[in-house]
Structure 1
Amino acid sequence: MSETLDAIENRPPSIAVDFVARVRDTPDAVAYLFPRPLPDGGEEWASLTWAQTAERVDAIAAGLVALGVAPTDRVAIMCQTRIDWILVDLGIVCAGAATTTVYPSTNADEAAFILDDSGSTVVVAEDAAQVAKLRAERERLGAVRKVVVIDPEGSREAPEDAGDAGDTEGDDDWVVTLADLEAAGTALLGKEPDVVERRIAGIESDQLATIIYTSGTTGRPKGVRILHDSWSYQAAAQATMAFSDGNDLQYLWLPLSHCYGKVMISGQLRIGFPTAVDGRIPKIVENLPIVRPTFMAAAPRVFEKVYNTVVTRVKAEGGAKYAIFTWAVGVGRRHVRARAAGHRPGLLLDLQYKLADKLVFAKLRELFGGRMKGCISGSAALSDDVAEFFEAIGVPVFQGYGLTEATAGNSVNRYGENRLGTVGRPLPGTEIRIADDGEVLVRGPAVMAGYHNNPDATAEVLDDDGWLHTGDIGELDAHGSLRITDRKKDLIKTSGGKYVAPSDVEGRFKGMCPYVSNVIVHGNNRNFCSALITLDADAIRGWADTSGLAGLEYADLVAHPKVQALLDGYVADLNAGLQRWQTIKKYAILPRDLSVEHGELTPSLKVKRVVVEREYAALLDAMYKGTLVET
């Protein structure tokens, strides 16, 4: 334990130091894998060694210096997750500047607010569509001196609010390419070979490293100020928890504009494992068997999607195959529960589990590439049933907990200590306690310095003793593992005075119904609980193909009486295990799934409950006026 704390307490002032050390120690090892387009329209996976990565990072860092970027100046990135995002971010770090992250899906108005509020002086944009948003709001971007475009030949489809997209060429030199920036950096390095080294040496641990804007559901988002020391702490803490010995391969698709994604690249610098980078969510299933990673971080929706797809596909095939699958999963769950209770499974159960693994589980692991040692789940709660399923098939999902305001990582389950239903023990060096009203409080090096330009909001969540008031309700078990029960502001109090934790009910339903995509339990100040439900399009179409409804569009399917009857059964099963005041008395199936594009999900796939309830307010009101059939 003392060695662990020593490693954390003696961490370097920034991850730039970790990066330099990694390049020095393993220059020829593979650092990153990434998809690269081929002339025939296909793709191949290319790679960069640590030495090759350093060559590009140094050129980007020096290029920023050549543009006049000073230490702590903000440089924004508007780009989806791709290798260039990581290279640019490392370049910003090594230049001693601070990264402002902007989701590429952010509209022009909000992007302009973020860039103006952060005082960003340079913006690195992915393609012409992102540049178009900047051109449309240029009058509001007084501090932005230069726009650097990564892929000037990329997407030409600008968002509707971007105005005239045109191309990356303007009537001035406001826009340059990333290649131009790197060329300028290389030229400066020829004159001042130690310019980047000097910038790294000048970084102080309490210096601003990143501003990440939270996804606001009302009003403008708040900019979370994260110091260099917080990222360095995350790297050191990850290295002490034995998630990787350097021989692993990470698959990274998470949005790097989100703290959860960004924290997954900090530990890599300290530990040294390679990372395969591709932020295109539809490519995940296709890429996993090709890349064959050993671990991956994801949001619960990804695991739920895999679970639903597997269950519905096998169920549709029916017969002996479905019977064997059902038997195997039952055996796997009993095996997991026995181990979780601290019991030896017994000879018969062990033999059954080995047979189940051979017949079913090994084939399921091939969906992940066959080498997956485990996955990390964060951003929202994962259903206990879904988590148990993955544990049973030999792909354990380690739930973790954190906020943007605490650099994403505060607690996590570990290999050999995966306590299902919890988000694990605190990271070494982080303190977690429960307030008298049940709120989770966090203190330690990961906690933010405050909200940018917003001292009043900072004072609301950071107290004088350094405790971050998270807004989450939770409890610590006898082993020190944290269990999150709900958001403080999301707790429902019915008009009868009963409290309901919606995420608990929602999680149970997701574990029971393989056709559900999202569910929002509603009922604050109402006389009973209701729910808005969306279905997984692939899963429900698979069911439809074997239920006489093949060929129907999603909107027609969810309105069909047979689908209503199907859901009635699952809701009845859910209610059977709930207290009376928790039960779902009425529900409605929405005509489409929730999406990032419609503003109902954050880019990390977390439901914006307030947005959904506002959008479907009339439908919710109708359920309380008795215009929909009660279940």
Structure 2
Amino acid sequence: MDWMDTSLLPVSPLLVSIVLIIVIYTITTQYCGQIRVKKVQFTDNQSVIIDEKTGLRGSVRKLSVTDAEEPKSPFDLFKIGLRKSKDKFCLGNRQSFSSPIKWITYDEVYEKIQLFGSSVTTLMGEISTNNFIGIYGKNSPKWVITQLAGSAYSFVIVPLYSTFGDEAIVHVINETELKIIVCDTVSQAYHLYKINPQKLEVFIIMEPESTFQSFEKEWSDKVRLFTFEEMLEKGYSNRLPVKVPDDNDLFMILYTSGSLGLPKGVMITNKAYLNAVKLTISLTEENHFSTEDLSHVSFLPLSHTMEQLTMIWAIYSGGRIGFLTDGIESLFDDLRDFKPTFFCSVPRLLVRVYMSFSKKIHSKPIIWKICRYEINKRIEEQKHGIYRRNGIIDFLFFREFRELLGGRVTAIISGSSPIDRDVLFFIRGVLSCPVIEIYGSTETLGLVSSTMFEDVDAHHVGAIFPGVQIKLIDVPEMGIFVSKDQMGEICIRSKCNMLGYYKNQEKTEEVLDSEGFVHTGDVGVWLENGALKIVDRTKNLFKLSQGEYVAPEKVEQTYLFCDLIQYVYVEGHSLKSYAVAVVKPNFKRLRKEAVDIIRKLPKTISLPIEKKCENMKDGESLEEITNAELCTRKEIREFVLEKMNSIAREKGLKGFELARNIYLTPEPFTVDNGLLTPTMKLARMNLRKHFANTIKNLYEEEKCY
């Protein structure tokens, strides 16, 4: 029989096709499209003990900055980028999604820096003010130009979170004696003047509205009003030479988001800022980030250290930066159009990508198992420096999720809080790129430690940055002792540390000690490989009656994987053996679940709502009951708590970490009502006060089930 005569073989065309697909998949997986990165040598030894007595640790990493010319200011960093990309795009934005992106080149930015810096310098002389200038508004090309002009002409930048409440804004204006503020719109200027008319003298409007002229006429005897373009024109007629500040001069005052009371002004010198940029450059060079055709989308507030350093690194590298068209809600539309090669994010956005994938795939068990197998396989390959984007699974399922970020992202940096292990592995596997977690604070300019390319383990923040030293100290008021508990408060000594809090010596001395260590308020522990792991904030941790510590932020982040929850606040008490929680539900989702929950009640109950639910179809939403009424129903509370804890158990939370009673609240968690910080984190002290009686009642009621 001729072995080529396949007509005699009992093989169906479908089976042949499947075999061919598997063969092609295997070949492409093993031999095509692999990206290899150089192995990092110290993933098993990520810090070194400097002083056995104090437990002081240092870095095993080396600082690597390749530019021969030593930059003296952030403006010098821009000039390095200018040399690399003189005629190329630098900053870009658009008025709407139907409008084209308007880019300005490095040359054009350089010109605008000089013009704006000259006119602001002249203006400061006219009104006899200090050399501080405030910026209030969303990230934009003009925001960046203002900052770089400050560096070039020696005026101090004071960014204001757009989500600051009025009390915080007035506090910052008064403390820094601001007289000049650059803001987005006339309406913002009007509001700022209204809440603090005594101090402010000049407003520079980045995006003038139709009301600009009427406002200018109405307030001409009280304040001076200019458009950004008018300031550039003034610079043409009186161009001044650049006046670069000294190393130890103030460059910026970054106000903390103020989860505890009024925000504090972190003083950052030129030297500290440049040292932080060197660490950023070293991180990218050490991990072989490609700066070829580098593109970044700036969406985290520029009053946030991580976005500050990412922005200036992109400029130093000669890359281009795009800005949001609308708000964070349309971020993925901007990512699609700007196509970044580098993504600086926070965990909650990565969770959105993960949840989108989960909803699509989890309903198909076989496909989910195949995808999970492929993700695990890729994680193993990444330990050896291999990142690939090929194969049938990638083509059919993974590629579309890379497109959510624009399709070109080759590295992700995440900060602000830890990433859940499942999310981290998903992002690494599906997006097939390194995910670097960074730990730091405003007081340390955001850079203390980071994970490495090949260290794919979760739940730690990696190796100490070059030149940074860390020690753990006892927290006696919490009953935490390093010798006993192997954990303690993280204290940082670094050339990036703040000078202190502006006009607040008392708070400075609480945080910055005589040896130059910043006391972070974070509790940490060293892992066997020398990596640093964050437990939680000292003020967040609580100890249960049986002696177990609970890190509420970890528990809260786990609970947020429950789609019935929008926000959750976990609290505990040293005289109780369990935690409780306050939950702001996702009411749209909860109303659909409520129908089935109420249907299952005993038939002896016959109330209007119960009768209504009996006649409703699956998937219908219960609209005949208010949010407040929905929150008070015991069966709803029990269902939500059971769903929360079921997910928490699946994700490995221990029994003592789980909430045993919950309160459902219809009240939103917002910045305006003080329950969230301007960075959208839980304002824990405010929540503790606001829900004090609620927490007390939950413990008196004891367990919900």
Q: TM-score, normalised by structure 1?
A: 0.85
Matched residue, 1:569:
643
Matched residue, 1:371:
408
Q: Percent identity?
A: 23
Question: What is the CA-CA distance between 1:204 and the residue it aligns to?
Answer: 0.9
Partners of 2:91 and 2:321 within 8 A in 1: yes
Matched residue, 2:63:
4
Asked if residue 18 in structure 1 is aligned to residue 93 in structure 2, the reply is no
Question: What is the CA-CA distance between 1:480 and the residue it aligns to?
Answer: 3.6
1:598-629 deviations in whole A, cap 9, x for unaligned?
332233322222222333333322211218x6
Of 555-564 and 25-34, deviating more is 555-564
Q: Return the letter of the residue paired with 2:176.
A: S
Matched residue, 1:162:
none
Judged with a 3 Å threshold, the aligned counterparts in structure 2 of structure 1 residues 226 and 478 are, in CA distance, closer, same or farther, namely: same
Asked if residue 611 in structure 1 is aligned to residue 686 in structure 2, the reply is yes
Asked if residue 309 in structure 1 is aligned to residue 356 in structure 2, the reply is yes
Question: What is the CA-CA distance between 1:580 and the residue it aligns to?
Answer: 4.0
Matched residue, 2:425:
388
Cα separation, 1, equivalents of 2:122 and 2:370: 62
Asked if residue 266 in structure 1 is aligned to residue 296 in structure 2, the reply is no
Partners of 2:255 and 2:264 within 8 A in 1: yes
Question: What is the CA-CA distance between 1:154 and the residue it aligns to?
Answer: 7.2
Matched residue, 2:508:
458
Asked if residue 519 in structure 1 is aligned to residue 519 in structure 2, the reply is no
Judged with a 3 Å threshold, the aligned counterparts in structure 2 of structure 1 residues 535 and 186 are, in CA distance, closer, same or farther, namely: farther
Matched residue, 1:159:
none
Cα separation, 2, equivalents of 1:421 and 1:78: 35
Asked if residue 484 in structure 1 is aligned to residue 534 in structure 2, the reply is yes
1:458-512 deviations in whole A, cap 9, x for unaligned?
11111112111111111233444321111111111224443212123233334x5
Q: Return the letter of the residue paired with 1:617.
A: A
Question: What is the CA-CA distance between 1:573 and the residue it aligns to?
Answer: 4.7
1:379-417 deviations in whole A, cap 9, x for unaligned?
122222221221221254321111111112222224344
1:113-144 deviations in whole A, cap 9, x for unaligned?
20110122321121122212222134441xx4
Q: Return the letter of the residue paired with 2:164.
A: T
- Secondary structure of the corresponding residue to residue 282 of structure 1: helix
Matched residue, 2:619:
548
Partners of 2:353 and 2:401 within 8 A in 1: no
Matched residue, 1:161:
none
Cα separation, 1, equivalents of 2:69 and 2:388: 48
Of 9-18 and 520-529, deviating more is 9-18
Judged with a 3 Å threshold, the aligned counterparts in structure 2 of structure 1 residues 3 and 404 are, in CA distance, closer, same or farther, namely: closer
- Secondary structure of the corresponding residue to residue 618 of structure 1: helix
Partners of 1:152 and 1:168 within 8 A in 2: no
1:541-587 deviations in whole A, cap 9, x for unaligned?
89899952347599489748578536513414525744443232112
Question: What is the CA-CA distance between 1:281 and the residue it aligns to?
Answer: 0.5
Residue 467 of structure 2 is aligned with which of 429, 438, 462? 429
1:443-469 deviations in whole A, cap 9, x for unaligned?
112110000011111111111121111
**How many residues of Structure 1 are paired with residues of Structure 2 in the alignment?**
598
Unaligned runs of 5+ in 1: 157-164
Higher relative contact order (CA 8 A, sep 6+): 2
Judged with a 3 Å threshold, the aligned counterparts in structure 2 of structure 1 residues 460 and 344 are, in CA distance, closer, same or farther, namely: closer
Matched residue, 2:489:
439
Matched residue, 1:108:
166
Of 486-495 and 421-430, deviating more is 421-430
Of 495-504 and 19-28, deviating more is 495-504
Matched residue, 1:92:
150
Partners of 1:309 and 1:538 within 8 A in 2: no
Asked if residue 283 in structure 1 is aligned to residue 339 in structure 2, the reply is no
Question: What is the CA-CA distance between 1:593 and the residue it aligns to?
Answer: 5.1
Unaligned runs of 5+ in 2: 1-59, 475-481, 483-487, 596-616
Matched residue, 2:485:
none
Cα separation, 1, equivalents of 2:469 and 2:582: 37
Q: Return the letter of the residue paired with 1:565.
A: F
Matched residue, 2:56:
none
Q: Return the letter of the residue paired with 1:12.
A: P
Q: TM-score, normalised by structure 2?
A: 0.77
Q: Return the letter of the residue paired with 1:113.
A: H
Question: What is the CA-CA distance between 1:339 and the residue it aligns to?
Answer: 5.2
- Secondary structure of the corresponding residue to residue 90 of structure 2: strand
Q: Return the letter of the residue paired with 1:151.
A: E
- Secondary structure of the corresponding residue to residue 175 of structure 1: strand
Asked if residue 213 in structure 1 is aligned to residue 255 in structure 2, the reply is yes
Judged with a 3 Å threshold, the aligned counterparts in structure 2 of structure 1 residues 401 and 168 are, in CA distance, closer, same or farther, namely: farther
Cα separation, 1, equivalents of 2:467 and 2:425: 29
Question: What is the CA-CA distance between 1:371 and the residue it aligns to?
Answer: 1.4
Judged with a 3 Å threshold, the aligned counterparts in structure 2 of structure 1 residues 36 and 416 are, in CA distance, closer, same or farther, namely: farther
Of 563-572 and 172-181, deviating more is 563-572
Question: What is the CA-CA distance between 1:522 and the residue it aligns to?
Answer: 0.7
CA RMSD of aligned residues (A): 3.4
Q: Return the letter of the residue paired with 2:411.
A: G
- Structure number with greater Rg is 2
Matched residue, 2:270:
228
Cα separation, 2, equivalents of 1:325 and 1:91: 54
Residue 458 of structure 2 is aligned with which of 391, 404, 420? 420
1:62-82 deviations in whole A, cap 9, x for unaligned?
111111269971111111122
Of 572-581 and 418-427, deviating more is 572-581
Judged with a 3 Å threshold, the aligned counterparts in structure 2 of structure 1 residues 353 and 205 are, in CA distance, closer, same or farther, namely: same
Partners of 1:8 and 1:236 within 8 A in 2: no
Cα separation, 2, equivalents of 1:84 and 1:542: 46
